[in-house]
Amino acid sequence: MKIFLRILAIIYAFAAVLHIGSILGFGRTPFLEAPLSWQLSDILYGIVDTIAAMGLWQQKSWGLYAFFIAAISEILLFSLVPDWFVIEPSQLIMLRGFILYHLVALATYFGLRHFRID
């Protein structure tokens, strides 16, 4: 479980860097020209992913809560209102990949926890 949480921490740290980079203007679309939904999600997930990464690395319960919030909220957002995040058809494939990633990450966490694999 410890190794899995460290891997998740690295993934969430990378995601946080991408969100913060987008805010700083390193994304494909300039931040101020991006749709409001993109701007808000970059700010929110920049914060939540940073918290998740730090907490998962330190193996703190608040890191797990941030992971659950990030994963579940992104699954819901990308499933229920994908139009908020899709401008080009190729972006829909990317959103589905994010949904699949979060489902696999959650299933892996609960599988490891169920079988008490440390």
- The string of pLDDT tens digits covering residues 10-51 is 999 999 999 999 999 898 888 888 889 989 999 999 999 999
**Phi-psi region at 25: left, alpha or beta (left = phi > 0; alpha = psi -120 to 50):** left
What pLDDT digit, counting tens, does each position of 60-91 carry? 999 999 999 999 999 999 999 988 888 888 88
Give the tokens for residue 81: 């209102």
Which residue type, as a one-letter code, is found at position 108? T
Question: Which pTM was predicted?
Answer: 0.88
pLDDT of residue 70: 96
Domain ranges of the chain: 2-114
Compute the distance between CA of residue 67 and CA of residue 112 in angstroms, rounded to an integer.
Answer: 15
> Which of 87, 103, 104, 83 has the alpha carbon at shortest distance from 34?
87
Distances (CA, A) of 13 to 71, 76, 99: 14, 21, 18
> Which of 98, 43, 33 has the alpha carbon at shortest distance from 72?
98
